[in-house]
Every structure is written in C-alpha cells, then in structure tokens.
C-alpha cells in the first residue's frame, strides 16, 4: 500500500497492526527514509524523476546498513523534494526535468513560485535553475537557403501559402516598418506583457522580478539572428522598450 499522508503516527499504526508481511510504501518525499527505518518496504518518489541516482543511493545505503549515509542523503534531498512539490505534479517535475535537459519542453509552463524556488535552490547542485532554460535556449538559426527563399517572395505570398495550409494566425496586423524597404527573416519569439497587480506579489519577491521573466532577461536571452516580438496586447499605454533596449538587441545581433 502507498502511504502518502504526512501523519507519521498513522504509518506506525498501520505497520504495527498489519504485521511484517504487509508492504507499506511511502508516497511522501519527506517520509521516505523515516518509513524505511520503521519497517516500510520502500517508497514511490516523484523526485526520483529528477535525481534518480541520489534516490537510488539512499535506498541502497539504507539496505546495506549505512544509516549515516542514508540520513545525510535524506537531508540533502529536502530542498529538491520541496521544489518538486511547489506546484501540483506532474507540472513541476516535468518543468524541472526540462531545465535539467532530461526531457523536451513541457506542455505546461512553470508558475512564478516554482521558477523563484528553483532559482533560490539551484546552488545546491540538485535543483536546476531557470537560467538558460527558456524558450530561446534550444533554438536553431534559420538555414541560409531557407532565409534566401523566404526573402525572395513577398510577405503576402508567404501569408497566403500559410493560410492555404490552415495556419490562419501567422501574421501581425497594424505594424509599420521603422526602416522602410528593409526585410528580415529569422526564428522569432514573443514576449507578452501582463497587467500590473499590486495585490498580487507572486511575480515580485521583494522588489526584484523573478529571474527569466523580466523584459531585460528576455532581451539578454535573444540570440544573434533571432527576432523578438514584444506584444502589448493592444494596450497603447504599455511600455515595451525604448532606445536603450532596442540598441542592446541590435548589439546582440538580433534582427
């Protein structure tokens, strides 16, 4: 049976009343080691998806009678355990595994609390931080031949061909060129602004934005040859960027 209750007294009671032939597995990260110590059969660990070697080593150390090593590992794993449980799983563990390069990009983005906690605990060596794991980290530049072909036809032609393939939202309306006559081709990402909510501080621990979520972080992540689209969501009062930020993008080689 899987025991996922934080009530350790309940686990003691179940083991005592059920006898040694009853197999009880911990389903709560913090109780994996304690449950083994009182006769549990093992544990089912979400954190093992992120750091399988450490979790397996804890079980091996306990089985071999090296309780000091098992206990030390248990304390070292407390931070990864807490980070994994910051959000409802599998969202949290899949995002962390993606940051560690173990899987591809997850379907659900991480919430601000998870990004903040991962950044705070990244120094421990077991929790991957958000740095370098954004949507621009695994990009591939547009091949020269592809760029030449796209640049040889009009934007309207490209839009109509996309439309014929069922892609109806692949263009931006109401945009005027700053430099008339200039065209560009490149892999693009969109940064979208969100309304300021003074009553919600989840995105703003203290006075600093969560790492990776500010416009400055986005600009510093834009690779040479990339295209950054800043979406103000139709709100003309939205601040999206000034001369200094645009010059920084140009210095980085963005298009």
Among 80, 101, 132, identify where a domain stops: 80
Show which of 80, 105, 133 is a domain's final residue: 80
State residue 66's pLDDT score: 92
Tell which of 26, 50, 80 closes a domain. Answer: 80
Instruction: Supply the range of the domain harboring residue 199.
Output: 144-251
Specify the number of domains making up the chain.
Answer: 3
**Inside any domain, residue 37:** yes
**Domain presence at residue 137:** no
Asked whether residue 161 is domain-assigned, the answer is: yes
- Do residues 119 and 151 both lie within one domain? no
Q: Other C-beta atoms within 10 Å of 126: how many? A: 19
Specify if 207 maps to a domain: yes
Cα(55)–Cα(186) distance, integer angstroms:
43
- Looking at the fold, whether 175 and 194 belong to one and the same domain comes out as yes
Claim to verify: residue 106 and residue 58 sit in the same structural domain: no
My answer on whether 200 and 227 are in the same domain is yes
191 and 235 in a single domain? The answer is yes
Q: Mark whether 74 and 90 lie in a shared domain.
A: no
Q: Is residue 75, in this structure, part of any structural domain at all?
A: yes
* 120 and 180 share one domain: no
Q: Is there a domain that residue 237 lies in? A: yes
Tell me, yes or no, whether 179 and 211 share the same domain.
yes
Q: What angle (nearest 5°) sits at the alpha carbon of residue 72, between those of residues 67 and 78?
A: 125
Quick one: which of 20, 126, 40, 43 has its CA closest to 83?
A: 126
Q: pTM for the full model? A: 0.48
Strands 227-231 and 42-43: unpaired
What are the average pLDDT values for consecutive 10-residue runs of the chain, which has 255 residues? Answer: 84 85 84 84 86 88 90 87 82 82 73 69 60 54 84 86 84 73 80 64 47 68 81 71 83 82
| 33 and 75 together in one domain | yes
- Decide: 132 and 100 in contact? Cβ < 8 Å: no
136 domain residue, yes or no: no
Instruction: Identify whether residues 63 and 104 lie together within a single domain.
Output: no
pLDDT at residue 131, as a whole number: 44
Q: Say whether both 94 and 36 belong to one domain.
A: no
Tell me: do 148 and 237 sit in the same domain.
yes
User: Can you spell out the DSSP letters for 35-49?
Assistant: HHHTT--EE--SGGG
Tell me, what's the pLDDT at 133? 46
Q: Tell me, yes or no, whether 99 lies in a domain.
A: yes
């Amino acid at each position: 049976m899987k025991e996922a209750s934080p009530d350790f007294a309940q686990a003691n009671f179940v083991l005592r009343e059920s006898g040694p032939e009853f197999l009880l597995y911990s389903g709560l990260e913090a109780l994996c080691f304690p449950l083994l110590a009182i006769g549990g059969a093992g544990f089912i660990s979400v954190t093992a998806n992120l750091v399988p070697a450490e979790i397996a080593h804890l079980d091996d150390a306990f089985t071999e009678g090296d309780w000091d090593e098992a206990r030390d590992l248990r304390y070292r794993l407390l931070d990864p355990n807490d980070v994994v449980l910051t959000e409802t799983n599998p969202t949290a563990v899949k995002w962390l595994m993606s940051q560690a390069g173990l899987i591809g990009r997850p379907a659900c983005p991480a919430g601000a609390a998870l990004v903040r906690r991962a950044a705070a605990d990244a120094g421990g060596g077991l929790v991957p931080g958000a740095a370098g794991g954004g949507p621009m980290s695994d990009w591939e530049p547009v091949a020269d031949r592809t760029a030449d072909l796209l640049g040889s036809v009009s934007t309207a032609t490209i839009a109509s061909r996309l439309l014929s393939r069922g892609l109806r939202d692949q263009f931006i309306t109401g945009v005027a060129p700053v430099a008339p006559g200039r065209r560009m081709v490149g892999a693009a990402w969109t940064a979208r602004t969100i309304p300021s909510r003074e009553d919600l501080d989840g995105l703003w621990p203290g006075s600093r934005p969560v790492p990776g979520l500010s416009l400055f972080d986005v600009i510093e992540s834009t690779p040479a040859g990339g295209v950054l689209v800043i979406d103000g969501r139709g709100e003309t009062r939205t601040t999206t960027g000034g001369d200094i930020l645009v010059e920084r993008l140009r210095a980085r080689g963005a298009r």
